[in-house]
Chains A and B, each alone.
Chain A
Amino acid sequence: MTRPFIKTRDTFNDRAKDWLIALIPVIIWSVYIFGARVLTLVAVGGISSLALDVLVLRFVFKRGRGARVDLMAFVYGVLACFAMPVCVPLWMPAFSAFFVVLAKNLKLFGRRIFNPFILSAFVLNVAFEKFMTVFTRPFAYFSATDITIDERLISGYRVISPLQYISDGSVYEDGTVPQLFGFASGALGEIAVAAMLISLIYLLFRKEADILPTGASLFVILVLSLTFPSSDAESNFFAYSILFSGAVFFISVFALNERHTTPMTRNGRALFGILCGCLIFASRKFFGGYEWGYLIVLVLNVISPIIEKLTLPKPYNALKSRKKS
C-alpha cells in the first residue's frame, strides 16, 4: 500500500446530493406557478433517467452488482425536464431519459462529449416542437396524473413567452419583475430567474459552480443587448427580454457549471462563458428559436477539451523564479 494512506470519506454521489439540493428552490417555485404536474414530470424524468442509467451500466458496460448508482443521472433527468413546458405529455420526460443517459455515457477519450440535459432539450425541441413551444399562463394548474392534456384546454390558457415575442420581432415590455419571479410564461424550470439565482448561490457555496462562466456569459449578453438593441424597442427592455427569457439563465447557471463538458481551467471556463454569451445573443437577435441556445452549448461542449488545452496554465515548478528571496 502506498500514500496516501487515508482518503476523504466524500463519495462521487455527494456532488449529486448538492445538485439535488440546489434544484429544490426551482422545483418548489415551479410547483407554485404551474401546480403539482411539475412534480410528476420531474419525478418521471429523474427516475426514468436513473433507472435507465443503472441498466446501461449493468448490461452495456458490464459493471458488476457492486457498482454504485450514480445519482447524477437523476439530476440530469430533472434538469432535462426543466426545459419542458408544463403541458407536455407525461411520456416525454421518460423519452428524454434516453438522450440523457446516451449523452451521460457517450465518451470520447474518457470525456463526455455532450451535456446530457442540454442534448435532451435540443432533441426534444427539434423533434417535438409542437409540444415544446406551447406555453400556458401561470397559475393555470393542470392535472398531475393525466398522461396528456386536452388540446382544447391548453389553447384556453395558451400565452406567448418572452422569447416568442423576440422571435416575432418584438420585446416583452411588462418589466423585469414577472420574468424574475416566473409570472411571465416559459418552461417549468427556466421561468423563475430568482429561483435559479438561489440555486446558483448554493452551488457556489458548495463549490459546485464557478461564477466565472456564469458571470461571463450573463455579462456579455447584457452588454451586447444594451449595445445592439432591437430597432423597435427601448434598449433596456430588449436587454431584460434577452437576459431573462428562454434558457439564458438556465444555460448560464446549470449548463455552464456541468464540469464534464466544460473546460476545467479558470481561463477556459471564462472563455467558454464569453463564447456562449456572444453566440446566444447572436442567435436571439437573428434567429430567436429555443433550440439555438441548446445547439450553441452542444457545439461548445465538443470544443471544450480544445479550449481547456489552449488555456492550460504552467505548473508552478515550470515557471521562472520571480524573486530570489
Chain B
Amino acid sequence: MVLKFSGGVRPQLQSKILFKPFETTGGNFRVGVPVGESAKISVSVGEHVARGAFLAFDGETPIYSSVSGVFEGVFEKDGKRYLTVKNDDTNDELKLFPPETRAITDMDGSYISERSRELSVTDSRSGRALFRLIDESRDLCETLIIDCTDPDPRSASVYRLCIEKAKSIVGGAKLLLHAVGASRCIFVIGKKRRDAFDSLLEFANDKNLFGFAVLEEKYPYTDEIILHTLFRTDLKIGQSPIDLGILPVGAETVSALYDSFLNGVPHLDRYLTVCDLDGNGFNLRVPKGVSVESLVSGANLESENRIIVENGLVSGAVAGEFISDGTKCIISAENVKKVTAECIFCGKCISVCPVGLFPFRASVGEDKNLKKHCIACGCCEYICPSGIELLSLIGKNSEVES
C-alpha cells in the first residue's frame, strides 16, 4: 500500500539514470575534508599519503585520506578549513584495521559505536558522525528508519545503492539495530522506485525485525514528512526524531557501516548522482571530499550561467568546493530568476507545505509566526506561479544560506 501524505511537490520528470550502475572516477582531482580550528594534523605538507592513511584528529573523529596522493595542507574558503590531498591515481591502499569476524550478537552497542568512530563512518543523511547518533539514541530508540529515498527526482544514487548493495544495507541495519537497542527497522522508499525493495527483501526477510514503507512520489522526503506519514507523529519545534524514539539514517550510512566493519577499511567512498536539469548524468562512486568542479567537468555538465546545487533543486543548497558527507546528488542547473508578480491567492503554497502552514500570508504581511514553524523546505517558493520569494518573506533565507 502506498502511504499518502500532505505537502511536498510532485516531480514533473523522472530520473533518466535509474538503470545506470555506479561508475568510478579517476584523474588528478583534489579531495578536501572539512576540519575545525583545533584539528591535530599528523602529516606534513608535500608528504605522500596512501588511501586510508591517517591524516588528523578533529576532536574525537579521525580523518583519513580517501585517495592516494600528495598532502597539500589546509585550504581555506568561505570561512571553512579543508585538509586537501591531490590524487595521483595510483590507488595505494593502507589497511589500518583488521576485518571484523565476530558475530553481531558478540558485540555490544558501545563497541559498535567506538568502532564506527575509528572507521570514521558518517551519516549520509545528516552528514554527522555515526558514533554520535548511536550514542545519542542508544537505549532511547525503538525504531530505526532506513531512508532509501533520493533527495530529488533526477537523482538515483540511493536507488542504485539499494539495488547493488542490498546485502550491505541490510547487514548494516542489523548492526545499527543492535547498537542502539531498537526493536524494529523500517525501510522507506518512494512509490516509483519500489522495485528496490525486491533487492532488500532478499536479505531483510525477518518480518518481526524489518518493515517496508512505500511513500507516494513527492519531494523532498523530510523527517517531518516521514514521521507524519509513518507514525502520525509530528516533530514539535526543537524536537529531534530521537526524542520520539526514532532514529532515521540514510541507506548509504548502514551500507558504509557494514562494509567498513567487514573489510576493516574506513568509510572513504561516497555514492552520488551527478546530473543536469533534465536528469541526464551519471551515478558515481567517488572518494569522500572530492572536488565538485572535477565531478561537473568530468560529467561534461559545464555551461555558462549555471549553478551547482547539491541534494535537490527544491530543498538543496549551493554546492561548496568539495562534496560533504551529506551530499547525495550534484545537479548542474541553469541560473534563471522568475519574474515576480503579486500573490493571486491560488493556495498552491498551502497544498505543498509539509507542516501545514499558510505561506502566502507572508506575502501580505499577515503572519509573524511563520518563521517559527517553517522548516525551509522551499516547496512553497517552488510551486508559486507568481514567483514570490516566500522563503525570504518568511525570513528563512538567511538560515538556508548559513
Q: Which residues of A contact B (CB under 8 A)?
A: 1-8, 10-12, 14-15, 66, 68, 72, 109-111, 207, 259-260, 264-265, 305, 312-319, 321-325
Contact = CB atoms under 8 A, between A and B. Distances in A.
B335 interface: yes
A72 B342 CA distance: 13
Contacts of B142: 324-325
B385 A15 contact: yes
A109 B366 contact: yes
Contact of B335 (A1, A14, A323): A1
Contact of A110 (B143, B339, B343): B343
Given A3-B313, A6-B382, A15-B344, 4 more contacts: A1-B307, A3-B400, A317-B373, A319-B236
Given A8-B385, A323-B231, A325-B231, A312 B358 contact: yes
A305 B315 CA distance: 31
Contact of A321 (B244, B318, B341, B360): B244
Give the interface size class of chain B: 35 or more
A5 B333 contact: yes
7 contacts: A3-B313, A3-B317, A5-B331, A7-B338, A12-B385, A68-B339, A321-B234
Contacts of A15: 344, 346, 385
Given A109-B364, A322-B233, A3 B358 contact: no
B364 A68 contact: no
A12 B314 contact: no
A8 to B, nearest CB: 5
A204 B349 CA distance: 18
B314 A110 contact: no
Interface in B304-356: 307, 309, 313-318, 331, 333, 335, 338-339, 341, 343-347, 350-351, 354-356
B232 A322 contact: yes
A1 B355 CA distance: 24
A4 B347 contact: no
Q: Report whether over half of chain B's contact residues are helix, strand or loop; otherwise say mixed.
A: loop
B156 interface: no
- 8 nearest interchain CB pairs? A110-B364, A4-B378, A259-B345, A6-B313, A315-B373, A4-B382, A3-B378, A10-B385
B364 A264 contact: no
Nearest to A111: B364
Contacts of B318: 1-2, 5
A325 to B, nearest CB: 5
Contacts, number: 139
B347 A325 contact: no
Nearest to A315: B373
Contacts of B354: 316
A319 B379 CA distance: 21
Contacts of B397: 2
Contact of B363 (A1, A110, A207, A265): A110
Contacts of B309: 5
Interface of B: 9, 12, 142-143, 224, 228, 231-237, 239, 244-246, 277, 307, 309, 313-318, 331, 333, 335, 338-339, 341, 343-347, 350-351, 354-358, 360, 363-366, 373, 375-376, 378-379, 381-387, 391-392, 397, 400-401
A115 B385 CA distance: 21
Contacts of B366: 109-110, 305
Contact of B315 (A4, A7, A313, A324): A4
Contacts of B381: 3-4, 7
Counting chain A CB atoms within 10 Å of each CB, which of B9, B232, B385, B391 scores highest? B385
Contacts of A110: 343, 363-366
B313 A317 contact: no
Contacts of B347: 259, 264
Contacts of A259: 344-347
Contact of B224 (A8, A72, A317, A318): A317
A5 B316 CA distance: 8
A72 B358 CA distance: 23
B232 A72 contact: no
Contact of A7 (B343, B356, B387): B387
